[in-house]
Amino acid sequence: MSKKMKHNSQFVMVGTSGEEDSRPFVWKCLDEIGKRVEKLREDAVKLEAEKKVLLSMLQDVQDKNNRNMPEVEVEEIEAMAERLVCRCLTVDIGIITPRTEEQETALNKVNKLMHEIEQQFNLDIQKTLHRAKAYLNACLSEPVGAHIDHRFQGMIIECNIDDQKKIRKRLECLVETYSPSEDLNG
């Protein structure tokens, strides 16, 4: 007896009632579903990042002092930006990262250090950039440069792999943002 279960327009599971015959097929289906779940998580992370970019762009528009524009136009721009911010905030995207208690503790410690370093860029860019690079090297399998913050490395290793990737990206962004731009033309 044949059985057919349609899950959606892109995936159809077909099997037979014989348990022995359907095992390899079920494993193949589970592998395919697993790949799609990972893609879904990746897409959600990208959408979450896009939301942050849009909110940042809207904040930039709101922060700009448009002195050369008539007051009425400035008010219209501000009203439109505020409407778009409110609309953007209605989109709620979330990825839940399962963590052990130890991973949660380690992540809290790392986030505290990350917050501190982000604040310190306002005080001493060069010293803080050096520290950020040491933190970043602690996250890399092949560090760039010699200095690694081993205390930070110990904390980051205790974090969940997804959290490690996010912290590394935050550090890469900080280092890129605050590093002096190099002339690519020589």
Q: Identify which of 7, 32, 33, 1 has the alpha carbon closest to the alpha carbon of residue 19.
A: 1
Q: What is the pLDDT of residues 138-148, one digit of tens each?
A: 999 888 877 99
Average pLDDT over residues 96-109: 95
Residue located via tokens 């289906």: 29
Domain residue spans of the chain = 2-89, 101-178
Contact at 8 Å (CB) between 46 and 26? no
Of residues 80 and 74, the one with the higher pLDDT is: 80
Structure tokens at 21: 């015959």
Structure tokens at 69: 């524009």
Q: What is the pLDDT of residues 31-70, one digit of tens each?
A: 999 999 999 999 998 999 999 999 999 988 888 766 688 8
Pick the CATH number of 101-178 from 3.40.50.300, 2.60.40.10, 1.20.58.890, 1.10.10.10: 1.20.58.890
Q: Identify which of 122, 132, 127 has the alpha carbon closest to the alpha carbon of residue 176.
A: 132
pLDDT at 170: 94
pLDDT at 72: 86
The span from the CA of 56 to the CA of 82, in Å, is 12
